[in-house]
Amino acid sequence: MIHRIPDYWRNLPVYLQLKGSVCKKCGAKYFPPRKICPKCGSRELEVYDLPRRGKLLSWTVIRYPAKEFEKFSPYVVGLIELEDGVRLIAQITDVKEDELKFGMELRATVRRAFEEGEDGIVRYTYKFVPI
């Protein structure tokens, strides 16, 4: 069981530190990071730190999630546009449903993920909260 921990930590740069990739040729940005640019075909992409602030473009309140997430419902999942234009989907927390507004400013924060892994290790993930 312990041997699985290194795998988890190795994945942290992507899942927790919010890394994207930017094409050195055409400047296109991607999240999650890509190795080949779909726009221009270049393989010269560089990993970079995504901005941790953005605005809310749309959201959904999940009331009937998959069985393993039932105890967390309802929860909010939003489409967020980061300051550099990269869009991603993430859970939004620390906000009431009726306080959600289009274009509201959000920032990324690290929180305990929904579920513990099958090995019982608590996972962390990024979630977005109002500024």
In whole angstroms, give the CA distance from residue 94 to residue 128. 8
- For residue 23, state whether it binds Zn ion (rule: CB under 5 A): yes
Asked if residues 110 and 131 have their Cβ atoms less than 8 Å apart, the reply is no
- The reply to whether 34 sits near Zn ion by the rule CB under 5 A is no
Q: Is 46 in the site for Zn ion (CB under 5 A)?
A: no
| Residue 61 within binding range of Zn ion, rule CB under 5 A | no
Angstrom distance (rounded) from CA 28 to CA 109: 25
The verdict on 42 binding Zn ion (CB under 5 A) reads yes
- Which one of 22, 37, 82, 88 is in contact with Zn ion (CB under 5 A)? 37
Nearest to 61 by CA among 50, 48, 44, 74: 74
Positions touching Zn ion (CB under 5 A) are 23, 25-26, 28, 37, 39-40, 42
